Amino acid sequence: MQAFNVDQVRADFPILTERVHTKPLVYLDSANTSQKPEAVLKAMDDYYRHANANIHRATHLLSERATALYEGSRAKAAAFLNAPDLRTIVLTKGTTDGINLVAQSYGRSTLKPGDEILLTWLEHHANIVPWQLVAEQTGAVIKVVPINEAGELDLDQYAALLSSRTKIVAIGHVSNALGTINPVKVMIAQAHATDAVVLIDGAQATPHLVVDVQALDCDFYVLSSHKMYGPTGTGVLYGRASLLEAMPPYQGGGDMIASVTFEKTLYNQVPYKFEAGTPNMAGVVGLGAAIDYLAGIDRDAALAHEDAVLDYATAQVRQIPGARIVGEAKHKTGVLSFVLDGVHPHDAGTILDQQGVAVRTGQHCAQPVMDRFGIPATIRASLGIYNTREDIDALVLGLHKVRELFV
């Protein structure tokens, strides 16, 4: 492993040399989706050129290769999360798919009327709506942990909301809209004290933080490949083996069965029970390559680099007249959300784009967070391991242009 060198990292991502509107691309939208290193692109290309065949289904060599690559990615994902064994790793379409799987399989089969599902005000819509659907189906009730002005969870309220009625707690590890890092380890222990099962939405955490599901002691952990330098359309659900084994299948189809007759179908073992149909094999191979890529860099140094860029960005944006940062939690990573007086974020987004600066503007699939702060939207600059202070300088220059036009 080499010391972290951002120039080397940037050279690994071919798209970063792209020009947009004749300007060099400044990509500050990694919380939306990250860019992909050459190693991921090559792994997927190689897969289609040299290994493509359906997995688990055929006796020929290509199928063996494809199966080995696919299952190899499962093993990489297990190591990435420090999961105890491969049975605990379900390959999904992404975080949204993982949460829906847990809600519809675990939630629907265990929740009773009056049971409570505890969410937080910081959640992405993907960690709200699946629970609303299962609440409607089962008569369970949703409770929400409030946040303070800084965008941190109110942990006293969290403790007060936990009760013997709480059956499922679903918490984002890192807020996509504000960047807040939630103290999930403590929260998991508190939830377990009342026998609730805990799902952690790790979509925004895994690109930045080293995650150890055994140290966290969570029951479910979900992530998306595309947020952590892998391809879209694939992700991971870690589940405690005893829970996964007891859960009914989520979707029916090929590969998730042991035997099928019209009288009775026997399901495959975990995790295959939850992987119906031909999966996104090239995507899973790409995910494995992304995990390898992250394993090849010093993650602590990468995080320190990203945090330094975030601190710099925060200080620079704060100096812009009329700028107000939304979400000033003590523990944050990767995200700077802000508003500019007299300028709608959408207009700022267009003007920044014309200068090559890609940010996200809007609600960030977190409408409750926006409502909490009484704003329709924010400008969100979000970071990956490839971002630099120069990127932030370009953002700030762009924001001055926005002000020239509007203020």
Partner 1 sequence: MSELTDLYQEVILDHNRRPHNFRVIEGATSQEGYNPLCGDRLTLYVAMDGGVIRDVAFQGSGCAISKASASLMTDALKGKTADEARALFDQFHAMITSDHAGPTADLGKLSVLAGVREFPTRIKCASLAWHTMKAAVAHHSDATVSTE
Note whether 405 binds partner 1 by CB under 8 A: yes
Cis ω on the peptide bond leading into residue 231 (within 30° of 0)? no
Query: Among 64, 212, 292, 347, which residue sits at the site for partner 1 (rule: CB under 8 A)?
Result: 347
Note whether 344 binds partner 1 by CB under 8 A: yes
Residue whose CB is less far from partner 1, 281 or 366:
366
Select the span of 11-19, 142-150, 226-234, 341-349 touching partner 1 (CB under 8 A): 341-349
Which residue type, as a one-letter code, is found at position 225? S
Residue whose CB is less far from partner 1, 228 or 343:
343
Which residues within the stretch 168-207 sit at the binding site for partner 1 (CB under 8 A)? Answer: none
* Smallest distance from partner 1 to CB 348, Å: 9
* Smallest distance from partner 1 to CB 250, Å: 27
Q: Which tokens hold the place of 81?
A: 């999360």
Backbone angles phi, psi at 162, to 5 degrees: -70, 130
Note whether 28 binds partner 1 by CB under 8 A: no
Are 315 and 338 contacting, i.e. CB atoms less than 8 angstroms apart? no
Q: Which of 111, 126, 162, 365 is catalytic?
A: 365
Q: How far apart are CA 365 and CA 175, in angstroms?
A: 11
Which residues within the stretch 351-380 sit at the binding site for partner 1 (CB under 8 A)? Answer: 351, 354, 361-363, 367, 370, 376-377
Q: How far apart are CA 225 and CA 213, in angstroms?
A: 17
User: What radius of gyration, in Å, describes the C-alpha atoms of the chain?
Assistant: 22
Residue whose CB is less far from partner 1, 108 or 344:
344
218 is catalytic: no
Residue whose CB is less far from partner 1, 180 or 363:
363
* Smallest distance from partner 1 to CB 403, Å: 13
Q: In sequence order, what DSSP letters do the residues of 249-314 get, joined into one string?
A: PSS--TTSEEEE-SS-EEEPPTTGGG--SS--HHHHHHHHHHHHHHHTB-HHHHHHHHHHHHHHHH
Residues of 74-110 as b/e, b for ≥16 C-beta within 10 angstroms? bebbbebbebeeebbbbbbbbbbbbbbbbbbbbbbeb
* Smallest distance from partner 1 to CB 342, Å: 8
- Chain center to CA of 3: 26
Q: What distances in angstroms separate CA 212 from CA 1, 53, 276, one per listed residue?
A: 20, 33, 27
* Smallest distance from partner 1 to CB 371, Å: 10
Q: How far apart are CA 187 and CA 145, in angstroms?
A: 12
Backbone angles phi, psi at 16, to 5 degrees: -70, -10
Select the span of 24-32, 51-59, 267-275, 340-348 touching partner 1 (CB under 8 A): 340-348
* Smallest distance from partner 1 to CB 219, Å: 32
Residue whose CB is less far from partner 1, 207 or 368:
368
Query: Among 107, 202, 279, 345, which residue sits at the site for partner 1 (rule: CB under 8 A)?
Result: 345
Query: Among 50, 331, 346, 400, which residue sits at the site for partner 1 (rule: CB under 8 A)?
Result: 346
Q: How far apart are CA 376 and CA 326, in angstroms?
A: 12
Q: What does the binding site for partner 1 look like in residue numbers (CB under 8 A)?
A: 344-347, 350-351, 354, 361-363, 367, 370, 376-377, 405-406
Catalytic residue numbers read: 365
